[in-house]
Structure 1
Amino acid sequence: MTFLARIRLVLFAVVLLGIAASSGQAMAQKLGPDGAPDPTASVTSERDLLKRFPRVEGRIDIPDSKAAVLIQPAGRSWDYFHEVLLHWGGAIVILGTIALLGLAYLILGRIRIAAGRSGQKVLRFKAFERFSHWLTAVSFVALGLTGLNITFGKIVLLPLIGPDAFSRLSESAKYVHNFTSFAFMAGLALIVLIFLKDNLPERVDLDWLRQGGGFIRGKHAPAGRFNLGEKLVYWLSVAAGVAVSLSGLLLLFPFYGTNIADMQLAQVAHAVVAILFVALILAHIYIGTLGMEGAFEAMGTGQVDLNWAKEHHDLWLARQLANENRPEAPSAAPAE
């Protein structure tokens, strides 16, 4: 009996030592490198948690149930789009457009007025038409710069000016972006109303396309008030303007008839269309300034040189001259 008692005592001691060793190991895992307790040692890792529960919600005391959503799958996809895909895609599109325009300038040079300036001017755009254009153009530039700061500011500006200045700049840019959007939408509406009838398709557009749009030397491309290239820019700008305006309103007034998924889709659409819109307007600015002699004067002063109008918008010029030379109707004879 004494021998059996000793065996039981030894076994009991071994069990106690095993329990103590496992407890010590567990305690060691809960201590940090410096020996202090680690409160997160026994917590499930975020990766394991998200594998089991892709959508994580908390407990809240306010009526807005959306505030309880902490993590959800579409949010991680949106974060990857905003922080990776948009950065690379936006940089490729914008820098690629600038590179192509620079290459076009090196190859084609500036398109000059072939016959030279005549010294005679023709009214192309009235004052209110120019006001509508510049209202849209200036507000677009403000929106474009402040919007690009949202996408590329942390990469480009933050290392240059530091976090404090970047925070102040970004806060101001946010307000400029929000409030300038209304000026842009007003200008867009005016552009649609004023220039819609002159941008409808015509048979002459096919002739303009067959003649290379005036970029092939020795070939004349006939055109009305706007040629096919300008009409394409107009319709693409209107479509992009409507898209960024609608998606921007959803972002400006969040969750009015939308949920979290809708807001994420609106942000993706707004960003993608805005990047493409910037590339389109860069090409438009190039043609209107460096790319073509005499083009900027149309929106700068409203008047263009007669020879420029003959070379680029001959059918429109013919109608303008015909209207100017049209004899006035004779006035009624005075009653006796």
Structure 2
Amino acid sequence: MLNTSLNKSLRMMFALVALIIGLGLVMPTAHAADDQSSQQQATTRTSDADLWRAVKAGESGYSTDKALEANVLINKAGNEGKEIRNTYLKPAIVLAVFGVFGAFLLFFLVNGPSKLSHGFSGKMVLRWTSADVWLHWIMAIACLILMLTGIFIMLGRHFIAPYVGEGLWAGIISASKFIHDWSGPVFIVSWLICVIKWMPLQLFKLYDLKWFLVVGGYINFGPFKGKHPDSGFANAGEKMWFWTLVIFGLFISITGLMLVLPNLDLPREASIAALLVHGISAVILIAFTIVHIWMATVLSEGGMECMVSGYCDENWAIQHHNLWYDEIKENGSLKYKS
């Protein structure tokens, strides 16, 4: 009986020791497994963070798509270009339109127009041929259409979209894009012909410096009043406008073609650069166009007639382009309107 109890007690003791030893072996293993799982999760989180950081930085990965830049999920240049456009270009367009227009309106209200010192003579002198007049207006209308539709495309969602329905806004922006794209070739062709045809008349001369010094004779007060500087066929202001149109017209033409031609498979960086150069060139041309229109119409009495009929009043020619008038009178090419 005693042996039976002793054996039972020994078995229970051995079972308890085995249980304790087993628990001792299992718990470190389980703890190690938990540590390993935690490390794997941390590594996964770090790996995901690194991956997302690389994606946002524009780093290249691997894709089965073989298109240009298909391996880049997020193009960094695109985001940076968008930021530059929204931060700088859009305010610059607003300043070019309202700032320049407002400045000339204020100047006109204070100074008034530049009137003809001896009034209109009634004699009309040929200044531009019919071909020149047509060429000017084709380019001018195309340019104005491009500017207006470009402003709609860039700024329309800020000052048009909030006040019209979604359907109407979709129609406006779609029409603006269509008209903008198809007015471009008209502008490019007419611009190129104008540059080739008129460039010999737009070369700067030494006497043009005086034109700038006396502000072209347009100021009607102070020491500048009544000052009419020498000028050839084109005055210094017209020459500055012409060369601005040449340089930035070239930029806007090239970048415009880069942006609309479907077969040009350009890198994203090139497209963004073209978009920014296009916008900067547009801002400059918009500002100079407003100046050109003010100078040719409101500020210069009798100036608009030149590009309506091709003729200018003889007194206008003597006052604003005296060297040209003297030249055509001397060489016998002076022609009056019959």
Deviation per CA, 1:188-214: give whole Å up to 9, x if none: 111112211111122332343344421
2:151 equivalent in structure 1: 148
1:276 Cα deviation from its structure 2 partner: 1.2
1:213 equivalent in structure 2: 216
> Unaligned stretches of 5+ in structure 2?
1-12, 31-43, 219-223
Alignment of 1:103-118 (within 5 A): 103-118=106-121
* Paired positions, count: 305
State the distance in 1 between where 2:295 and 2:212 align. 17
Amino acid at match of 1:179: W
1:69 aligns with 2:72: yes
SS in 1 for 2:125: strand
State the distance in 2 between where 1:111 and 1:152 align. 35
The alignment's TM-score, normalised by the length of structure 2, stands at: 0.79
State the distance in 2 between where 1:220 and 1:110 align. 14
Select which of 111, 122, 125 maps to 1:122: 125
Select which of 51, 55, 62 maps to 2:53: 51
2:85 equivalent in structure 1: 82
2:290 equivalent in structure 1: 282
Deviation per CA, 1:243-297: give whole Å up to 9, x if none: 1001111112257363111111111101111111111101101111112111111
1:271 aligns with 2:279: yes
State the distance in 1 between where 2:273 and 2:189 align. 25
Alignment CA distance shift 1:118-1:79 (3 Å): same
State the distance in 2 between where 1:127 and 1:292 align. 22
Amino acid at match of 1:289: T
Identity of aligned residues (%): 28
Alignment of 1:26-41 (within 5 A): none
Amino acid at match of 1:161: V
State the distance in 2 between where 1:210 and 1:286 align. 20
Larger RCO, structure (CA 8 Å, separation 6 or more): 2
State the distance in 2 between where 1:58 and 1:99 align. 51
SS in 2 for 1:230: helix
The alignment's TM-score, normalised by the length of structure 1, stands at: 0.79
1:308 aligns with 2:310: no
1:185 aligns with 2:218: no
SS in 2 for 1:125: coil
State the distance in 2 between where 1:292 and 1:137 align. 19
**How large is the Cα RMSD of the aligned pairs?**
3.2
Assess if the C-alpha contact under 8 Å between 2:255 and 2:277 holds in 1.
Answer: yes
State the distance in 2 between where 1:208 and 1:123 align. 23
> Unaligned stretches of 5+ in structure 1?
17-41, 327-336
State the distance in 1 between where 2:59 and 2:211 align. 59
Assess if the C-alpha contact under 8 Å between 2:152 and 2:173 holds in 1.
Answer: yes
Assess if the C-alpha contact under 8 Å between 1:121 and 1:306 holds in 2.
Answer: yes
SS in 1 for 2:73: strand
Deviation per CA, 1:67-118: give whole Å up to 9, x if none: 4432022121012123333222322333221221122112211111121111
Alignment CA distance shift 1:176-1:67 (3 Å): farther
Alignment of 1:209-288 (within 5 A): 209-215=212-218, 216-253=224-261, 256=264, 258-288=266-296
State the distance in 1 between where 2:170 and 2:135 align. 33
Assess if the C-alpha contact under 8 Å between 1:57 and 1:71 holds in 2.
Answer: no
Assess if the C-alpha contact under 8 Å between 1:192 and 1:238 holds in 2.
Answer: yes
Moved more, 277-286 or 195-204: 195-204
Larger radius of gyration: 2
Deviation per CA, 1:17-57: give whole Å up to 9, x if none: xxxxxxxxxxxxxxxxxxxxxxxxx999x987543442266
